[in-house]
Amino acid sequence: MKKWTLALAGAVIGVIAVLLTVLGNPGNMGFCIACFERDIAGALHLHSAEVVQYMRPEIIGLVLGAFLIAIAKKEFKPQGGSSPVTRFVLGFFVMVGALMFLGCPLRMVLRLGGGDLNAVVGLVGFVAGIGAGVFFLNKGFSLKRTYRQTIAEGAWLPVINVAFFALLVAFPSVLIFSTSGPGASHAPIWISLLAGLVVGAIAQRTRLCMVGGIRDVLLFKDWTLLCGFVAIIVVALIGNLIAGKFLFGFAGQPVAHTDGVWNFLGMTLVGFGSVLLGGCPLRQLILSGEGNADSSISVVGMLLGAAFCHNFKLASSGEGPTANGKIAVIIGLVVVTVIAVVYTFNKKKAKAETPAVPVA
Amino acid sequence: MAQIIDACGRSCPEPVLMTKKALESHEARYEVLVDNNTARQNVTRFAKSAGYTVGVTEEADLFRLVLTKS
């Protein structure tokens, strides 16, 4: 994959993201994997925060777009078994960190392109978290290998997303939809779905990943994936200027708060947890579409994490972070560090115990 | 006999890290086994940047990457 391919992919995603905000999505939220999974958790009655409930077709599209292109390119490959429960826990705490900051790494990039300086603080925390993860990767961190699985195991998440879309268009009355707040702001259903499908396919082909970009620079001095990251910022910036949605500064930013310490720590948790998972929340959705059962479990962890965040008042709002949220982020940082230590330094013992060829 | 690095079942960046570590022994030839396209591309890109030419053969369930010092 060439650098310019990644840059082009990032540019297309930047344009689509700005268009989605013009067509009704909340500010700087053409895409936000964390916010949208949180909205889906709300639509499914998993939490009852009235302002953030909607079955976001972008998420459905991302998974199905990756699924369809993976089938077409013969890259659909059901696999799993690489420490699934640990991945569930990591997904859970990545969501806790993202909802402290109010955005996944992709939305952080879009916020940068919208002139939101709080996202600069988030970015510094994000890089710090990735740095911590890279330290453990260099020491030999591994969640162990995956194994080939049945087609059903790899197809569940795409199937579930088809079911979600069927509920949205055919039986919307069983879901809950916000009547005010970010959950009530959305582009038309079919446009959102199409946007998700296109971006899902692009992300599958290019392996675009917000965490991978910075990680590869730190690990290998490889700037390829980062080109996509930078292209999204540049194009979103131009797009926001043209659309009249560019707002430079800290205060008054859409769906954001100005508490620097917690913006930093929230994204530290997201960066650290995501490196251990092998990719950002967007990448987990794309891998789920490719049949990766471990990523599917991570996505379920994020969905449930989002529900917990609102049921236990861990998520921030425009007014700032909550006391519960701060405690949860600290717990998350501790848990992720323990996971990193255990899967880095316990490996030699495990290797000696496990035969190279699995015994039937 | 080339050193064989079995990175099957590993997701990125692990195959690249395993290759990077192996390359520290500075041999003229290595074989890396991976089972997904992402790992194939990433290991290939890394090996090229480290001054190796990469030949790929596709086998039943894996890619065999042959790295030769160029």
- Residue A250 has what pLDDT? 97
Mean pLDDT of A209-237: 95
Would the pLDDT of A207 be above 90? yes
Mean pLDDT of B24-30: 91
Mean pLDDT of A287-301: 97
In chain B, the residue whose alpha carbon lies closest to the alpha carbon of A279 is: B12
Structure-model confidence comparison of residues A350 and A330, the more confident one: A330
| Inter-chain residue contact B17 with A215, CB threshold 8 Å | no
Would the pLDDT of B38 be above 90? no
For an interface test with B, the pick among A216, A286, A294, A344 (most B C-beta atoms closer than 10 Å) comes out as A216
Interior/surface letters A283-297, b for 16+ CB within 10 angstroms, e for the rest:
bbbbbbbbbbbbbbb
Would the pLDDT of A352 be above 90? no
- Residue B30 has what pLDDT? 94
DSSP β-ladder status, B52-58 and B3-6:
unpaired
Mean pLDDT of B53-68: 92
DSSP 3-state assignment of A58? Answer: helix
| Inter-chain residue contact B13 with A215, CB threshold 8 Å | yes
Q: What is the pLDDT of residues A17-69, one digit of tens each?
A: 999 999 999 999 999 999 999 999 999 999 999 999 999 999 999 999 999 99
| A 16-55 near B (Cβ less than 8 A) | none
**Chain A residues with CB-CB distance to B10 below 8 A:** 142, 145-146
Mean pLDDT of A192-209: 97
pLDDT bracket for residue A95 (50, 70, 90): very high
Q: What integer best gives the mean pLDDT of chain A?
A: 95
Taking a C-beta distance cutoff of 8 angstroms, is the pair A249, A115 a contact?
yes
Domain ranges of chain A: 3-350
| Inter-chain residue contact B45 with A222, CB threshold 8 Å | yes
Would the pLDDT of A189 be above 50? yes
| B 24-53 near A (Cβ less than 8 A) | 36-38, 41, 45-46, 49
* B8 tagged catalytic: no
Lowest-confidence range among A92-101, A216-225, A321-330? A216-225
Interior/surface letters A98-113, b for 16+ CB within 10 angstroms, e for the rest:
bbbbbbbbbbbbbbbb
- Residue A351 has what pLDDT? 53
- Residue B11 has what pLDDT? 87
Q: Which residue in A82, A137, A292 is closest to B13 by CB distance?
A: A137
For an interface test with B, the pick among A145, A149, A224, A286 (most B C-beta atoms closer than 10 Å) comes out as A145
Q: What integer best gives the mean pLDDT of chain B?
A: 91
pLDDT bracket for residue A101 (50, 70, 90): very high
Q: Which residue in B12, B36, B46 is closest to A77 by CB distance?
A: B36
| Inter-chain residue contact B45 with A215, CB threshold 8 Å | no
Would the pLDDT of A135 be above 90? yes
In order of their start, the domains of chain B are 3-69 (3.30.110.40)
Instruction: Work out the number of other CB atoms within 10 angstroms of the CB of residue A147.
Output: 14
DSSP β-ladder status, B3-6 and B29-34:
parallel
DSSP β-ladder status, A79-80 and A147-148:
antiparallel
Q: Does A283 touch chain B (CB under 8 A)?
A: no
> Given the structure tokens 């396209």, which residue do they identify?
B37
Residue A359 makes CB contacts below 8 A (sequence gap 6+) with: none
Catalytic residue, chosen from B12, B14, B64, B66, is B12
- Residue A359 has what pLDDT? 42
Residue A171 makes CB contacts below 8 A (sequence gap 6+) with: none
Mean pLDDT of A267-294: 97
- First CA to last CA distance, chain B: 18
- Residue A159 has what pLDDT? 98
| Inter-chain residue contact A216 with B13, CB threshold 8 Å | yes
Task: Locate A120 and state its tokens.
Answer: 């600069």
- Residue A360 has what pLDDT? 42
Give alpha helix (H) positions in chain A.
Answer: 3-22, 33-43, 57-72, 84-101, 105-113, 118-138, 151-170, 189-206, 210-220, 224-243, 260-277, 281-289, 293-311, 323-345, 347-353
Mean pLDDT of A176-191: 97
